[in-house]
């Protein structure tokens, strides 16, 4: 592990902080490897019940580190297909398949694959001064890291095309109005708001939340009947959990439930 990310153990949840502030947290191969390791560890750690993805410095993430390939000094162009398969696809899969909520706290700019990384998180909270930019078009690339798939689902084809084809930055306020993100926070309140949500999730019914996330993600690929079946199975599973019994008991006893996450 390098110092390109910092992993903070917050007890019942984990904060993964992007930590290359001088490059606006642009992603290079080492940072990808660190992120994969941290996310895999958090996925397997039963005591970690939510993840907060945060960023050091004035920006969230400027996407691929454009300096890393040394193209300006005449180095051959790397095989980007390989880079995508090795680095970006596993990264966004880890976020989407994470069996617990992942929250992004977006400060400053989220560009290119950095925007994609934020938008794949289950809950995106952006500082009012933050902005999102599909900067791929500005350098002749296509929206990767699953962003061409995600955008039309989140904001519809017309907005997705305008956003990706023009490379026009959109403000956090616009992202919120479009339904691209869950919440806006005042700049000074961003961390506190996002950390508070991570702590709340970490005392929630984690297994049920994981199933909920999975069902919502899968809905786009299933027909209605198949999805009703999937819901029935998932509810059967949730119904056998400790946290369902505890939730119902707490309801009747008029007290706050103590969820264990299983």
Residues at the contact surface with ligand T3D, assessed by CB under 6 A: 23-24, 26, 62-67, 80, 83, 109, 111-113, 133, 135-136, 138-139, 141, 144
Residue closer to ligand T3D (CB basis): 74 or 236: 74
Instruction: Report the nearest approach of ligand T3D to the CB of residue 138 (Å).
Output: 6
HEC secondary structure over 4-63: CEEEEECCCCEEEEECCHHHCCCECHHHHHHHHHHHHHHHHCCCCCCEEEEECCCCCECC
> Residue with CB nearest ligand T3D?
63
As a dihedral over the C-alpha atoms of residue 49, residue 99, residue 94, residue 60, rounded to 10 degrees, the angle is -40
Q: Which is nearer to ligand T3D, 14 or 135 (CB)?
A: 135
Residue 54: CB minimum distance to ligand T3D, A: 17
Structure tokens of 170?
A: 């959109």
Nearer Cβ to ligand T3D, position 112 or 257? 112
3-class state of residue 70 by DSSP: coil
Minimum gap (Å) between residue 88 Cβ and ligand T3D: 6
Number of H helices, E strands in the chain: 10, 9
- Shortest CB 252 distance to ligand T3D, Å: 51
Cβ closest to ligand T3D, residue 90 vs residue 99: 90
């Amino acid at each position: 592990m390098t110092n390109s990310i910092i992993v903070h153990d917050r007890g019942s949840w984990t904060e993964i902080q992007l930590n290359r502030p001088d490059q606006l947290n642009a992603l290079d191969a080492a940072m990808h490897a660190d992120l994969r390791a941290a996310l895999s560890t958090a996925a397997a750690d039963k005591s970690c019940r939510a993840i907060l993805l945060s960023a050091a410095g004035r920006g969230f993430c400027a996407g691929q580190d454009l300096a890393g390939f040394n193209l300006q000094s005449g180095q051959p162009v790397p095989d980007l297909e390989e880079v995508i398969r090795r680095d970006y696809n596993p990264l966004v899969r880890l976020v989407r398949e994470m069996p617990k909520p992942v929250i992004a706290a977006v400060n400053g700019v989220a560009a290119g694959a950095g925007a994609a990384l934020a938008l794949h998180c289950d809950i995106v909270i952006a500082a009012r001064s933050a902005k999102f930019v599909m900067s791929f078009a500005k350098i002749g690339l296509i929206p990767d890291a699953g962003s061409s798939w995600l955008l039309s689902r989140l904001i519809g084809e017309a907005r997705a095309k305008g956003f990706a084809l023009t490379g026009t930055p959109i403000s956090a306020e616009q992202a919120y109005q479009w339904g691209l993100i869950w919440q806006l926070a005042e700049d000074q309140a961003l961390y506190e708001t996002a950390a508070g949500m991570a702590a709340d999730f970490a005392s929630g019914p984690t297994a049920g939340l994981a199933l909920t996330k999975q069902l919502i993600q899968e809905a786009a690929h299933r027909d209605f009947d198949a999805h009703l079946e999937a819901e029935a199975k998932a509810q059967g599973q949730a119904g056998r959990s400790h946290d369902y019994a505890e939730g119902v008991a707490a309801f009747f006893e008029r007290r706050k439930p103590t969820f264990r996450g299983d």
